[in-house]
């Protein structure tokens, strides 16, 4: 086993950072729908898994918003976010293997996930991946952050969500 090249690691880092941005944006959106006191909203949302956070956001949005168009946009964004999260999880929670270079000097980099399920027994998931595959996921996540932020802004402008919390690096916040 040879170590994974830097271009793969950088792309995995982009996936990780962009997913965390999506999760934070989703959390802030949900918190803004809960109460004008966003600290209260953050308390409610802070321990939620991403899937639960998305479910909460959709339920709150349905309760607070009167816009069918924005609801349609949110539903589509949440579907895309769920798919991206599944893909991100498969990247982050896998082992990575690199083959010896072949006669052309190319190597194969693959993610491997070994699991056992009660209904299916042992499962070995093996997938060869290229850096562009990882960057495509990172870009999808980045696009979701932008779209979610725009929808949150439109919802705030409609008076259906509170303003974003002003975060400070001060330890007292």
Q: Rounded to whole angstroms, how far apart are CA atoms 54 and 31?
A: 12
pLDDT score recorded for residue 169 = 46
Q: Where are the domains of the chain?
A: 6-93+131-157
Q: 57 in helix, strand or coil?
A: helix
Q: Structure tokens of 25?
A: 């944006």
pTM of the model: 0.87
CATH node for 6-93+131-157 = 1.20.120
Query: What does 85-123 look like in DSSP terms, one character per residue?
Result: HHHHHHHHTSEEEEPPP-TTS---EEEEEEEEETTTEEE
pLDDT at 168 over 70: no
Q: Structure tokens of 113?
A: 């996930």
pLDDT at 84 over 70: yes
pLDDT score recorded for residue 3 = 78
- pLDDT tens for each residue of 16-54: 999 999 999 999 999 999 998 878 998 999 999 999 999
């Amino acid at each position: 086993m040879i170590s994974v090249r830097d271009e793969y690691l950088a792309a995995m880092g982009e996936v990780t950072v962009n997913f965390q941005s999506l999760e934070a944006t989703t959390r802030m959106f949900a918190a803004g729908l809960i109460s004008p006191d966003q600290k209260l909203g953050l308390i409610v949302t802070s321990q939620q898994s991403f899937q639960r956070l998305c479910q909460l956001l959709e339920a709150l949005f349905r309760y607070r918003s009167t816009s069918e168009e924005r609801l349609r946009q949110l539903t589509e964004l949440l579907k895309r976010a769920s798919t991206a999260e599944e893909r991100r999880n498969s990247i982050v929670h896998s082992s990575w293997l690199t083959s010896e270079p072949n006669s052309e000097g190319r190597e194969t980099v693959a993610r491997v996930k070994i699991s056992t399920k009660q209904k299916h027994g042992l499962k070995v998931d093996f997938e060869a991946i290229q850096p562009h595959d990882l960057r495509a996921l990172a870009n999808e996540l980045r696009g979701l952050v932008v779209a979610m932020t725009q929808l949150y802004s439109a919802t705030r402008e409609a008076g259906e969500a509170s303003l974003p919390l002003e975060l400070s690096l001060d330890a007292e916040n």
